[in-house]
Amino acid sequence: MQRKVIISCAVTGSADTPGRNPAVPVTPEQIANSALDAAKAGAAIVHIHVRDPQTAKPSMDVAHYREVVERIRASGSDVLINLTTGPGARFTHDENDPSKPGPGSVLKSPEQRVRHVVELKPDICSLDMGSLNMGDRVFVNTPSHLHKMAETIKGAGVMPELEVFETGHLLLAKNFIDKGYVKAPGMFQICLGISWGQPATPEAMTYMRNLLPPEAPWFAFGISLHQFPMVAQTVLLGGHPRVGLEDNLYLEKGKLAPSNAALVEKAAKIVEILGDAVATPRQARQILGLAAANA
């Protein structure tokens, strides 16, 4: 029987990528339009970060999130909206006093990191389930902060996407489910290829997949050149793939992706070549146990 496979599209992210690929959307209008184009191409979920329209740097401004969400909702699209809660967890040491944060640090309270989720009530929001050496900085997510965020997200009636970058994150997420902080069986996103987390290999994905709660729907992605090999691996292992300009700027070797939609179209082709079918937003809601749009 043909399986319905959900494609998620991470539209812009927070890395310094707009200067490397002009297709990376920056303003709320550009982000919303790119998300809608990705939905038309087959994405049932769009994962949203926002940026300062003037500098293109990552932003946590609720007004920017509100504009993106309102534009998507006003379009009539039933695509599922997934807002990030990752910003506010970046730490670097001050070079002169390592006990203090350096100029690249952006550390916010749990309440600040989920404020836009409480106000806008998207279908889904990400919840990064642990800390990680990410490049030259530390991505800080302490269990106590994650507990507060999870409880607030649950109170807002939003489904958390449990992002796991390594095995310990996955085990902590299962602990949160066992304790009732997150509704069982949970929805997982396996994040591969980020320095210095789990590598983007079939073995790593299979190992993490095997640790998931048996009934949990799960997604996975690989960054950069690993994006499309990991799409295929995810589908073969029974998961749902994520693509998008947050994770990868190229459509193929040496060719910049012209849009998020182009990346989604390529992922959809892989899904179909492997014998499955791309899920619609309505089917995605059924798979994830979410209420219908505007219900």
Mean pLDDT, residues 114-123: 98
Q: Total domain count for the chain?
A: 1
Q: What is the pLDDT of residues 172-227, one digit of tens each?
A: 999 999 999 999 999 999 999 998 999 999 999 999 999 999 999 999 999 999 99
In a domain, 103, yes or no: yes
pLDDT confidence band for 293 (50 / 70 / 90): low
Expressed as residue numbers, the domain containing 183 is: 4-288
pLDDT at 244 over 50: yes
Residue 65 contacts residue 50 (beta carbons within 8 Å): yes
Q: Is 294 a member of any domain?
A: no
Q: Report yes or no on 126 lying in a domain.
A: yes
CATH number assigned to the domain comprising residue 228? 3.20.20.70
d(CA 165, CA 199): 9
Nearest to 244 by CA among 227, 232, 268, 226: 227
| CB-based contact 145:110 (threshold 8 Å) | yes
Contacts of 75 (CB under 8 A, 6+ apart): 32, 36
pLDDT at 37 over 70: yes
216 DSSP assignment: -
Q: How many CB atoms lie within 10 A of CB 270?
A: 19
Burial of 5 (0-12, 13-18, 19+ CB in 10 A): buried
User: Can you tell me the mean pLDDT for 67-89?
Assistant: 97
Report yes or no on 199 lying in a domain.
yes
The answer to whether residues 218 and 5 touch, using CB atoms and an 8 Å cutoff, is no
Residue 295 placed within a domain: no
Sequence-distant (≥ 6) Cβ neighbours of residue 98 within 8 angstroms: none
**pLDDT at residue 167 in the model:** 97
pLDDT of residue 295: 46
Q: Mean per-residue pLDDT for 107-112?
A: 96
pLDDT band at 1 (very low <50, low <70, confident <90, very high): low
Q: Which of 99-113, 161-175, 181-195, 231-245 has the lowest mean pLDDT?
A: 99-113
Residue 2, classified by CB atoms within 10 Å of its CB into exposed (0-12), middle (13-18) or buried (19+), is: exposed
Half-sphere exposure for 212 (CA within 13 Å, toward CB): 26
Domain for residue 223, yes or no? Answer: yes
With vertex at residue 170, the alpha carbon angle to CA 90 and CA 113, rounded to the nearest 5 degrees, is 35
Per-residue confidence band for 34, with pLDDT thresholds at 50, 70 and 90? very high
Q: Note whether residue 182 is domain-resident.
A: yes
What pTM was computed for the model? 0.96
Inside any domain, residue 166: yes
